[in-house]
Amino acid sequence: MGLIMQNRDKIKNFLNEYISECEINSDTKDFISSLLHLKGKIFNVESGFTWAEFNYHIASLFESTDKRDSSIVACSAAIELLVLATDILDDLADQDLNGELLTWVPAPQAVSLSSVLLMEGLHIVSQYKNPQLFLNVVEQLREAAQGQIRDLSFCISRKHVPTEKEYFAQISRKSVSLTRLVFHLNVPHEELAFWTKIADCIGFSGQISNDARDLFDDTKNDLVDKKATLPLIKAIEASQTKDDGWLLMMLTTKNLRESRDLLPIIRSYIKKTGAIKYCDILSEFYLNKALLLLKKKQETSTNKMHYIDLIKFLGDDDH
């Protein structure tokens, strides 16, 4: 735990110094600092998983932390800024105005702030990584941006309920590309195919879990906007079989933004279909698949301790 906190402190120190020296106004600096203290972010003491630390663990598998620690810390800080930028854009696109991010930052400023975070994150990467690795980051951000556009229309309708296969294709492009980004920033080209499998498994696990949680979160609009997330897709499938399509009828004939009293009824029904349990099991399956691949790779590695640190960070405390 002491080493983990040392890593976090190094990243936090870099970010504090970098933000203080940025040529941006004090209000923008304050906004960035506030957002980096929110749940799941690097300055929040209760955050178990942060993107910066995730990158640090991945980078440590391929770089000597003694010789290249400054590069690892800087790029980990950059990942934190880049993911924060995409989080803001995601909340803006979904109109999650009551969500944690946009409670701190008014929507008009959020657009500019996201742009600043994106540019500063890319600037840091360009200073510490070679051009090919920099292009890898840009390519995955392009994928995420294109996925975000498609996500706006990836919804449940009377004419079409997306399949589980379509769901995986969508999250692979939108959110899992961010997990891939971390690996593509650090992994040697000749090993990229293997590590991309691990990245995809980790990304699938996290997104499925997030979608199951967000369906019951009043600050998220997934349900009222009928977003085609996996728990909703599976619940509709069950409803079509058992209840003559009651759930699809409710979703396509009711305005849930105006009839929010229906949300508890629909959420209770979704739970009863077993869709949430299905998602929990599938999320665990993909995480375990990633862990198994990591443990297999660890067996032939001379860098075993960093593998152990990563495996523990991902949630396998028994390793």
- Residue 100: CB partners within 8 Å, gap ≥ 6? 38, 39, 219
Beta bridge partners of residue 155, listed in sequence order: 227
Q: How far apart are CA 277 and CA 90, in angstroms?
A: 26
3-state secondary structure of 25: coil
State the greatest distance between any 2 C-alpha atoms of the chain, in Å, as a whole number: 63
Domains belonging to the chain, first-starting first, are: 1-129 (no CATH), 145-297 (1.10.600.10)
- Section 172-201 average pLDDT: 96
CB 213 within 8 A of CB 271: no
For residue 276, pLDDT over 80 is answered with yes
pLDDT recorded at residue 94: 85
Beta bridge partners of residue 227, listed in sequence order: 155
Six-digit token string for 101: 């991010």
pLDDT tens digits for range 105-129: 888 889 999 999 999 999 999 999 9
Q: How far apart are CA 281 and CA 81, in angstroms?
A: 31
Of 222, 250, 225, 224, nearest to 236 by C-alpha is: 250
3-state secondary structure of 106: coil
Of 204, 185, 197, nearest to 281 by C-alpha is: 204
pLDDT recorded at residue 3: 54
pLDDT recorded at residue 106: 83
CB 311 within 8 A of CB 291: yes
Dihedral of CA atoms 77, 50, 86, 32 in degrees, nearest 10, equals -60
pLDDT tens digits for range 159-168: 999 999 999 9
pLDDT recorded at residue 4: 58
Neighbours of 299 (CB within 10 A): 8
For residue 259, pLDDT over 60 is answered with yes
For residue 319, pLDDT over 50 is answered with no
- Record the pTM: 0.93
pLDDT tens digits for range 195-251: 999 999 999 999 999 999 999 999 899 999 999 999 999 999 999 999 999 999 999
In degrees and rounded to multiples of 5, residue 155 shows phi and psi of: -130, 170
